[in-house]
Structure 1
Amino acid sequence: MMHSKPEQWGGHAWTDWAMNADRWDWNAGVGVIAAAEFGAKTENEEIVREVEAWVKRNIGQSESILTINSIAPFAVFPLLHRIAGRSFYADKAGEVARWLIDEAPRTKNGAFEHTVTEKASFSEQIWADTIFMAVLFLARTARMKGDGRIALEALRQVRLHLEALQDEETGLLFHGWDCEAGNWMSGARWNRANAWIAVGVPMILEETEALCGDDALLAEIKRRYARLADALVQRQHAGGLWPTVFDRPGFYAETSGSAGIACGLYKAARMGLVPVALLAHAVRAVPAVLATIGPDGAVGGVSGGTPVLPSIEAYGDVPIFPTLYGQGLTLLLLTEALAEAGEEK
């Protein structure tokens, strides 16, 4: 499959953004979330301090940006509050959570409308990305505050997104749903869209299940997630990765989404959300992801940031280059793989 040249996607401005850590947006946010997770699970205080330094250096940018995508970096605030003990993190997280629940734009069915840091409008659109970029933050804030109302909203958003995006025939997820038009737009069962939810839902359930109090809601989420996981393992290439569009096995294998899916399977198997047998698919993905990492540590085979595109074929032309979300999803996978290896000893 041929790929568009980066120039067609904004040239140097696009590729410079991809590895620019000092921006308060979803790209850097995914990397920071992963670094914090790795630092906490390996008890590496230096990494956690670096995450806090990143927040202090870039928090000023967040004051003028309040969208779904710009919420992502706030997901590290509950961890920093627990470790550093600064009330600022709890207070700011509470402020942002209130904005999400009370003021953030919603679609006609009550889901968060996907909004981005760029000057673009996606009226009445539901994107899979929102689960990781904003709902994860909401779930972590709920646990930090012991707030059942926030936890319930996070889980309702998960259900709304699964209901809107899941294909009942295959169990896979479409990239987006247009509530106004009543369709899945491009109709692409896109790799990374599935990854945001595959990894995001177990992380959200970890934070909110004890606070929920709605057994029927939890059961519906778990049922849909199990169906998704079963569908995902059927689309895995023999080499360990997943194609960038599941309906097009000839499209290029995409690393970041593959890492996210495999990480989600690790977490879900550990939590009992999916059969332990599915763990083998996560294990198979690890060496394939590792093989994409270059001598400089950059993860290869990562597709550029992708809105819902006009056609399925367009996803096969998205250029590939290293990005911070590619680094982050890979680090999340390796963190889970290390944890699993440690438990087996």
Structure 2
Amino acid sequence: MMNSPFAITADKVWEEMINDHSGEWGMDIHHWDWVPGVGVIAMLEYYEATRKPEVLAYLQSWVKQNVEKSKGTKVINSIAPYAIFPALYRITKDAWFREEAVRVTEWLIKETPRTREDAFEHTVTENAAFPEQVWADTIFMAVLFLARTASLVGSTIYAEEALKQVIIHLRLLQDDETNVLFHGWNCGSGNHMSAARWTRANAWIAAGIPMIVEEIGQLIAIPDELKERYGRLMGGLLSYQQEDGLWSTVMDQPHFYREVSGSAGIAYGLLKGMEMGLLPRQEETAVTAERVFHAILPYITEQGTVEGVSGGTPVMPTIQAYQDDIPTYPTLYGQGLVLMLMAKVPNKERFEHA
């Protein structure tokens, strides 16, 4: 159990997530989309770190209260909440969670739109289409669920598809010059559109890949290409960390505002990457992650609200638009990525060399 001062802060962050925020797009947990999806994924991490029964009870009640809302349009972003189903099956032995996970996975593999490179096309619940676009977000919003279902049912077919999607996304999005990721790729025009090195896009993959490897690594071999690309990605990200410990919302624009959710996701990736053997287990890396953690704490209010979180966004038409047109406000994904980092930092040997 977490019993440090950090646990008190984490409790507040979680409690603020489950408070009534009806009508607030970023904080209303009672709908079925990527925003609450990231929230419940983070709550599961928090439960696994603390074993607080009230967190598990909330996740179960949340599914019962909101699952009818899942029956709308099937898109990549609406897959995110299902990522907690495999764990809920293991905990509760309720066969419904397993059956739903398999049903949704079958749709994802057989029916979801794909680009000409065979990547999952990023699709959203809003009335908007991004044909032939590949976004970094997809790895966390859908491929993580696919990997967890693969582990649950022991399917090498599901695991191989998850691995394929990770490799395709890395090949299409990774910048060979800086090793970090662009926000998106347009398969039709064959370019990265505005070519923004958006911090939260990098965070979705920095956090998501080691989570995916944890699920599929017992079913299939993890190729050297994935390990090599992930190592280069994380090294590249560290080169853009600002003196205050955080990353700007577009990381190669140091005068842009600092972005807390992406910074938390990158720090989580550093810790999870070491845990999964994708990164060397080094004191320096652990200390870097803890530095991010402490840099984030001033952005958390006494009520547990995480500030400094950029709004949801497609690939913007220009790099400057990420600064000028995307405001910051509290969101469940901001709360969630910070909660994931909090759950990881105080519980994994407390950096045994630090």
Q: TM-score, normalised by structure 2?
A: 0.91
**In 2, Cα distance between equivalents of 1:341 and 1:254:** 27
Q: Is the 8 A contact 2:184 2:193 kept in 1?
A: yes
Q: Which amino acid aligns with 1:202?
A: P
SS at match of 1:303: coil
Partner of 2:113: 105
Instruction: After TM superposition, give the deviation of residue 46 of structure 1 in Å.
Output: 1.6
- Change in Cα spacing, 1:301 to 1:15, as seen in structure 2 (3 Å) is farther
- Amino acid aligned to 1:304: G
Paired with 2:224 and 2:260, the residues of 1 have a C-alpha distance of 31
Shift of 1:14: 12
- 1:258 equivalent in alignment to 2:266: no
Identity of aligned residues (%): 52
Aligned partner letter, 1:33: I
Offset at residue 280 of structure 1 (A): 2.1
Q: CA deviation at 1:58?
A: 0.3
Give the equivalent residue in structure 2 for 1:316: 323
One-letter amino acid matched to 2:208: G
Correspondence for 2:276 among 268, 271, 275: 271
Matches within 5 A, 1:126-205: 126-205=134-213
Partner of 1:5: none
Aligned runs of 1:175-254 on 2, under 5 Å?
A: 175-213=183-221, 218-254=223-259
Shift of 1:341: 4.3
SS at match of 1:316: helix
Aligned residue identity for 1:309: M
Q: Would you say the 8 A contact 2:49–2:344 is kept in 1? A: no
- Write the distance in 2 (CA, Å) between the matches of 1:27 and 1:154: 22
SS of alignment partner, residue 72 of structure 2: coil
Counterpart of 1:62, as a letter, is: S
**Residues 124-158 of structure 1: CA deviation (Å, up to 9, x unaligned):** 00000000000000000000001111011001000
Contact 1:40–1:48 at 8 Å: present in 2 too?
A: no
Corresponding residue SS for 2:217: helix
Contact 2:166 / 2:209 at 8 angstroms: preserved in 1?
A: yes
> Displacement of 1:278 after TM fit?
2.0
- Separation in structure 1 between the aligned mates of residue 155 and residue 185 of structure 2, nearest angstrom: 30
Q: Distance in 1 between matches of 2:157 and 2:227?
A: 20
Q: Distance in 2 between matches of 1:265 and 1:344?
A: 15
Verify the 8 A CA contact 1:233 1:278 in the aligned structure 2: no
User: For residues 14 and 39 of structure 1, what CA distance do their matches in structure 2 show?
Assistant: 24
Deviation (angstroms), 1:304: 0.5
Q: Name the amino acid aligned to 1:237.
A: Q
2:81 maps to: 73
- Structure 1: where are the runs of 5+ without partners? 1-12
Q: The residue matched to 1:246 in structure 2 has which SS?
A: coil
After TM superposition, list the pairs within 5 Å mapping 1:36-55 onto structure 2.
Answer: 36-55=44-63
Cα gap change, 1:35/1:247 in structure 2, threshold over 3 Å: closer, same or farther? same
**Partners of 1:328 and 1:117 in 2: how far apart?**
20
Q: In the TM superposition, what are the counterparts of 1:281-292 in structure 2 within 5 Å? A: 281-292=288-299
Q: Partner amino acid for 1:90?
A: R
Aligned length: 330
Task: Work out whether residues 33 and 81 of structure 2, in 8 Å CA contact, stay in contact via their aligned partners in 1.
Answer: yes
Q: Distance in 1 between matches of 2:87 and 2:49?
A: 11
Deviation readout 1:107-134 (Å, 9 max, x if unpaired): 0010000000101111000000000000
Tell me which stretches of 4 or more aligned residues in structure 1 moved more than 3 Å. Answer: 341-345
Are 1:301 and 2:323 counterparts?
no
Q: Normalising by the residue count of structure 1, what TM-score does the alignment of the two structures yield?
A: 0.93
SS at match of 1:182: coil
Aligned mate of 2:66, from 58, 63, 71:
58
Instruction: Choose the corresponding residue for 1:333, options 329, 332, 341.
Output: 341
The residue identity in structure 2 corresponding to 1:265 is L
Partner residue in 2 for 1:18: 26
Q: Considering only aligned residues, what root-mean-square deviation do their CA atoms show, in Å?
A: 1.5
The alignment partner of 1:24 has SS state of coil
